Amino acid sequence: MIIQPRTRGFICLTAHPEGALQTVKNQIEYVKSKGQLENGPKKVLVIGASTGFGIASRIEAAFGSGAATIGVFFEKPSSEGKLGTAGWYNSAAFEQEAHKAGLYAKSINGDAFSDEVKQQTIDLIKKDLGTVDLVVYSLASPRRTHPKTGVAYASVLKPIGEAFTNKTVDFHTGNVTDISISPVENEEDIQNTIAVMGGEDWKFWMEDMKNAGVLAENVKTVAYSYIGPELTFPIYRNGTIGQAKNDLEATVSIIDDLLKDLGGKSYVSVNKALVTQSSSAIPVVPLYISLLYKVMKEKGTHEGTIEQMQRLFTDRLYTKDGIVPLDDKGRIRIDDWEMADDVQAEVAKRWNSVTTENLSEISDIEGYRREFFNLFGFEIDGIDYEKDTNEDVKVPSIE
């Protein structure tokens, strides 16, 4: 089939398997070019392993540390005549490349919030690996069905208290407009967002795995958070999603207690704002990212997901002296280059002056747009998109 991008707003409905394979190969090459971690993880579970920071974490663990990996994700498989999702094709590519390199890699496609998928994962760890020494929690989802009560929660992306008006961009057209987002109307919206994106599910995973005896001595676990600049505070850190991130960050001490007798430790890593399927859904943020990319590229400090994860493992989680550098709130910061004063000052200056007319000059909107399509395997160098492509690609470990 000839596969072309088909978009609806910030969603791309199609994905290209050969493009996805190439993006995975590119990430593998990057990680290999950085050399091997000496004291890195060996048996790794990645929850949310198919796209964004999750696939990059899996690639870093496997190809930067020689780790066996189990990946959990929620993707649509391809079938005769029907396209799979980008994360499906990424995972097919990852397993194929991992197996070629002689690395163990198996995947589970299902709802990570459910007890069933947790049990299935535990059974697989028991059968094949015994224990895991790193658990990466990289889920991003708009909804969660609670495994104990069956209640279905939907998260909202809204400010709290008052309406938030600021600039935003339609990255397809390059139109910069003002957007006004009304605040949550009730406490329930906040609680629902915490139920979906807060720390409870991470805690459930760690509790179930601890009880099942599948966590190794000195196990580490890491989940991802975001802070960002003041200009996005109303919609991000001080908004509903920020409350969920506060909850996630507060879960660290609960999980630390749980892991104490194993000598284990849990972390939240505050990551850089990057183009992923999740971040493109947040108003205002894509315009910020476009300006940020331009400024960081000019300064030579720009990173993508794989550069971030390579640095997380090498310079934070698995340093040579075993010390994990943390901020005053106990968090790992790999958003340090994003938050550097000179970067933020320049972004803020450009934010005030950005319009539809000067957008392509002062921001990296073209880079944003291209990276968005890259997420779905499009606009990748070396891929012939006019060529007939086999859309039915298996993830080797999945029936």
Question: CA torsion angle for 276, 282, 287, 293 (degrees, to 10)?
Answer: -30
- Using CB under 6 A, which of the segments 98-106, 167-175, 180-188, 222-230 binds ligand NAI? 222-230
Least separation in angstroms between CB 138 and ligand NAI? 4
CA terminus-to-terminus distance, the chain: 23
Which position has the token pair 């279905």? 152
Of the candidates 73, 153, 164, 318, which one interacts with ligand NAI according to CB under 6 A? 73
Phi-psi region of 354 (alpha: psi -120 to 50; beta: other; left: phi over 0): beta
Of the candidates 27, 51, 192, 374, which one interacts with ligand NAI according to CB under 6 A? 51
**Structure tokens belonging to residue 266:** 């849990």
Residue 210 carries which side chain, given as an amino acid letter? Answer: K
| Other CB atoms within 10 Å distance of the CB of residue 213 | 11
Which position has the token pair 């957008």? 359
Helices (H), 43-139: 52-65, 86-100, 115-124
Any contact of residue 75 with ligand NAI (CB under 6 A)?
yes
Any contact of residue 242 with ligand NAI (CB under 6 A)?
no
**Structure tokens belonging to residue 317:** 């989680």
Of the two residues 75 and 95, which places its CB atom closer to ligand NAI in the complex?
75
Least separation in angstroms between CB 354 and ligand NAI? 19
Any contact of residue 287 with ligand NAI (CB under 6 A)?
no
Any contact of residue 372 with ligand NAI (CB under 6 A)?
no
Tell me which of ligand NAI, Na ion, none is bound by residue 301, counting a contact when its beta carbon lies within the kind-specific cut-off of 5 to 8 angstroms.
none
Question: Residues 137 to 156: which contact Na ion by CB under 5 A?
Answer: 138
The reply to whether 236 belongs to the active site is yes
Q: Which residue among 30, 153, 236, 368 is the active-site one?
A: 236
Q: Characterize the bridge pairing of strands 152-154 and 164-170.
A: unpaired
Closest CA to 241 of 293, 210, 282, 288: 282
Any contact of residue 139 with ligand NAI (CB under 6 A)?
yes
- Using CB under 5 A, which of the segments 134-142, 188-196, 200-208, 380-388 binds Na ion? 134-142
Instruction: Report whether 16 contacts 383 (CB < 8 A).
Output: yes
Tell me which of ligand NAI, Na ion, none is bound by residue 193, counting a contact when its beta carbon lies within the kind-specific cut-off of 5 to 8 angstroms.
none
Any contact of residue 395 with ligand NAI (CB under 6 A)?
no
Any contact of residue 87 with Na ion (CB under 5 A)?
no
Any contact of residue 205 with Na ion (CB under 5 A)?
no
- Spatial distance between the Cα atoms of 119 and 127, rounded to a whole number of angstroms: 12
- Spatial distance between the Cα atoms of 318 and 218, rounded to a whole number of angstroms: 12
Q: What are phi and psi of 248, to 5 degrees?
A: -60, -45
- Spatial distance between the Cα atoms of 124 and 397, rounded to a whole number of angstroms: 11
Question: Residues 336 to 395: which contact Na ion by CB under 5 A?
Answer: none
| Other CB atoms within 10 Å distance of the CB of residue 378 | 23
Q: Give the x/- contact pattern for ligand NAI in 146-185, rule: CB under 6 A.
A: ----------------------------------------
Of the two residues 53 and 378, which places its CB atom closer to Na ion in the complex?
53
Of the two residues 111 and 315, which places its CB atom closer to ligand NAI in the complex?
111
Produce one character per residue of 94-118: b if its CB has 16 or more CB atoms within 10 Å, e if not.
Answer: bbbbbeeeebbbbbbbeebbeeebb
Question: Residues 53 to 72: which contact Na ion by CB under 5 A?
Answer: 53-54
- Using CB under 6 A, which of the segments 109-117, 210-218, 325-333, 364-372 binds ligand NAI? 109-117
Of the candidates 49, 135, 343, 393, which one interacts with ligand NAI according to CB under 6 A? 49
Binding site for ligand NAI (CB under 6 A): 48-54, 72-75, 87, 111-113, 138-141, 224-226, 271, 273-274, 276-279
Residue positions annotated with a catalytic role: 236
